[in-house]
A = this chain, B = another copy of it.
Amino acid sequence: MHDLVARLYPICRSITGNGVRETLRIIQEHIPVDLHEVASGTKAFDWTVPKEWNIRDAWIKNSAGERLVDFQQLNLHVVSYSSPVQRRMRLAELKDHLFTSPAHPDWVPYRTSYYDETWGFCLSKNQLKHLREDEEYDVCIDSSLEEGHLTYGELLLEGEQSEEVLISCHICHPSLANDNLSGIAVAVALAKQLGKVARRYTYRFLFIPGTIGSITWLARNESAVSRIRHGLVLTCLGDAGSITYKRSRRGNAEIDRAMAHMLKHSGEAHEVIDFFPYGYDERQFCSPGFNLPVGCFMRSRHGEFPEYHTSGDNLDFVKAEALADSLSKSKAVVDILEHNRAYLNQNAKCEPQLGKRGLYPSSANREDKRLRELALLWVLNLSDGEDSLLDIAERSNLPFAAIKEAATALAATDLLVPR
């Protein structure tokens, strides 16, 4: 995953343009994602697909012809969606178009202006110090803002059931590693692995520009969203921080409970926070007209780590082990969703004899044996058709895996049948 992050890092992405296409083509080397192109001017609820933005080069040169600010070195230097400009001007005039991150003098901030046609450069505070009032600068942004398309990727992995699990990540950020090449890398790895196994649910992976991408997708797929049973927005999954899960607007959807259970039994520090209508594309999936059971899975919370939306969010900030842990936890929660069913105890009056069916766990480890026996008793006791395995795991405070194993063993006998 870290290799994929590194390969995608240099590309200049925005909410439209060739950077997105190039990113999706690299993703296609791993998973068979489809590319969708939606024309500028297309209506999507209250929004309109914007013009397509592309950029070839940009700089601020001094009179000696030296590039003091250079898009080729770091694409964050140009405000995303900057209109083309080629002028010579003094610092006094240029200053209105320069942005820094005062709190971190070495970092270049990330800035966009999608819906206000303007242009600008981002630079570190230390770079700004070298610009002089008495000098004229050559300023160039070789960009285009024209009718074109919004591009997004979509992958459908069909399962036994047509009910869907939605996995969505935004692909509109330029050289920012955690936000959100990490989310893209985890989504690609998860899709790759799910593609190889039998699936109960159908899985839909979206690689979309933030906000306008999810709005466009929802507008084009309005009638189909009712198939979505569970969903996750993946973002900021590569930093060294502990996991944060932001619940769906419903607050107690199965995905919310599955994530909370998985995190609790991970034994690791984590935080489960309530939904709020600010953040990434869960804002759209959880708008009141859709109210989909989609939560947001992240490590450090976007907006709350210092490197957020600056050049500090680079390849060093993203750790291979953190990506691996995020993937592992994604798979753990998918495992809960896949196996969370209700069963019916066929011998509901008094306990059945476990011994004569060979169900008593044999294990060298006494604690493990006891836990497995308890799991069998809990599954039998609560399989009255009301409680699902996740309900049972929650009430028994046993890990879902133990409950699932017990249900599997019992379902292999005459004692338990799926509801």
Contacts and interface: CB of A to CB of B under 8 A. Distances in A.
Given A276-B396, A289-B348, A355 B115 contact: yes
A156 interface: no
A47 interface: yes
Contacts of A352: 45-46
Interface string A265-299: 00000000000111000011011111100000000
Contact of A218 (B350, B374, B384): B350
A287 B355 contact: no
Contacts of A288: 345, 348, 380-384
Given A115-B355, A355-B115, A381 B287 contact: yes
A291 B277 CA distance: 37
B353 A218 contact: no
A378 interface: yes
A364 B220 CA distance: 39
A11 B342 CA distance: 47
Interface string A342-385: 00010111111101100000000000000000100110111110
A377 B283 CA distance: 9
A222 interface: yes
A349 B222 contact: yes
Given A276-B396, A374-B278, A350 B284 contact: yes
Sorting the interface of chain A by its residue count into under 10, 10 to 19, 20 to 34 or 35 or more gives 35 or more
A34 to B, nearest CB: 22
A45 B349 contact: yes
A396 to B, nearest CB: 7
Given A278-B374, A288-B345, A396-B276, A214 B350 contact: yes
Q: This chain: how many copies in the complex?
A: 3
Given A115-B355, A355-B115, A396-B276, A381 B286 contact: yes
A362 to B, nearest CB: 14
A218 B347 CA distance: 14
A173 interface: no
Contacts of A283: 351, 377
A249 interface: yes
Nearest to A116: B355
A215 interface: yes
A291 B382 CA distance: 10
B215 A289 contact: no
Interface in A22-78: 44-47
A278 B378 CA distance: 9
Contacts of A286: 381
Interface string A121-160: 0000000000000000000000000000000000000000
Contacts of A348: 287-289
Contacts of A380: 277, 287-288
A345 B277 CA distance: 14
A348 B284 CA distance: 10
Interface string A383-413: 1100000000000100000000000000000
Given A283-B377, A286-B381, 4 more contacts: A46-B350, A215-B351, A219-B349, A287-B349
24 contacts: A45-B349, A47-B350, A115-B355, A214-B350, A215-B351, A218-B349, A218-B350, A219-B349, A222-B349, A276-B396, A277-B377, A277-B381, A283-B351, A284-B351, A286-B381, A287-B349, A287-B350, A288-B345, A288-B348, A288-B383, A288-B384, A289-B348, A289-B349, A290-B349
